[in-house]
Amino acid sequence: MALKVVVVMGGPSEEHEVSRRSGQGVAEALARRQWVVEPLIIPRAVGVEGALEYARHGLTHARADVVFLALHGPFGEDGTIQQLCEDLHVPYTGSDVLASRLGMDKAASKRRFEEAGLGVPRWRVIDSSTTHAPTRDLEGLTYPLVVKPARSGSSFGVSIVERTEGLAQAIAEAAQYGSTVLTEEFIAGRELTVGILGDTPLPVIEIRPHHGFFDYRAKYTQGATEYLVPAPISADVAAAVQAVGLAAHRALGCRHLSRADLILDTHHVPMLLEVNTIPGFTPTSLLPKAAACLQLSYDELCERLVMMACHETAIP
C-alpha cells in the first residue's frame, strides 16, 4: 500500500507565503514521483496555539504516514511542529526537536558553533525590552554592525549599522520579531552558502545581490540577486567551506538537510553566520540549485528526504 505524505506549509510566522511556495513545489514534486500527497496549509492568522491545534487535527484526520515539513520561521523551525510529530508518532523530514530549537535561536547556535571551534563574527545579544542604552551591551564590538532578530528568518528585521546613531532604529526594527536582538560585527567578503544532504556537503553557491545586502527583497525579488552555482572559488577553498558547513550541521545535531550561510573574508577564511534547518524549497531555492549540480533533480531531492524520514523509523 502506498504511503501518504502530508506536506505541511504556511504557518503563523512572517514567512507564511514563502513556506506556501516551498510546500506547493514539494507537493507537486512528490505527486509526480507517484506518492500519495495531501497538502496541509496552516493559516497565518490563528497564532501559534491555534496553528498547533490546526496541525494536530489535520495530521490526525489525514492519517499521515510521513510528514514533509515545508514550514519556515517560528513554529515551523523552532521545534514546535517537530514535537507535535513526535507526540503523534509520525516520522517527519528535517531536524529533530532539539536541533530545530538550537538552529532557530541564533545566539544559542552561535555558542554551539564556538564550542565546536568554528569561526563566527564577534557578537553580542541585546534585550530590547530593557531601558538602558544598548551601547552598554556592545563592549568589544566595532562598527559596522549587523543587527538582526535572534529568532527569525528570511532576513526580516536585519540592518547594517555604520555608526552609533543608527543603532536604536536598527534595534527597534529587529525587535518587531522578538525582544532578543543579535548584533555581530560586519565581515567584508563574499557571501556563500552550502547545503548538507544527509551527511554530504553539496556544491558551494555564491550569492551576489545587485544592490545592498542579501535582505528579504534580494532573496525573493526575481532578478535582484545573482547566484553562482557552483561558486567560482578554488577547490581548496570550496572544500574548507563545505567542511565548515558540515561541522555546523553536526554541531547542532541536524539531520536530513540543512544550509549554512557564511562569509568568505578577505583572507579567504570562511566565517559562519547561521544554519537554516529547513531551507527554502521552491524549485529555484538554493539547496535544490546545489543538488542539481550533482544531477539530483528537484523531484528526486524531495523524494530522497521523504525516504530519509521513513528510514528514521524503519517504515517499509
Reported as type and span, the H/E element at residue 278 is none
Active site residue 280: yes
In the set 22, 100, 152, 154, the catalytic residue is 154
> Exposed/middle/buried for 106, CB within 10 Å: 0-12, 13-18, 19+?
buried
In the set 14, 15, 77, 105, the catalytic residue is 15
Q: Which of 256, 118, 136 is nearest to 199 (CA)?
A: 256
In the set 77, 105, 215, 261, the catalytic residue is 261
In the set 143, 216, 220, 227, the catalytic residue is 220
17, amino acid identity = E
Active site residue 190: no
In the set 20, 258, 280, 285, the catalytic residue is 280
In the set 259, 285, 298, 299, the catalytic residue is 259
C-alpha–C-alpha distance, residues 80 and 85, integer Å: 9
Helices H, strands E: what count in the chain? 10, 13
Active site residue 276: yes
Active site residue 304: no
In the set 92, 276, 285, 303, the catalytic residue is 276
- Report CA torsion sign: 272, 193, 187, 132: negative
Active site residue 21: no
Active site residue 159: no
In the set 96, 184, 274, 303, the catalytic residue is 274
Active site residue 53: no
Q: Which of 244, 297, 265 is nearest to 116 (CA)?
A: 244
Active site residue 261: yes
Q: Please identify every residue annotated as catalytic.
A: 15, 154, 220, 259, 261, 274, 276, 280
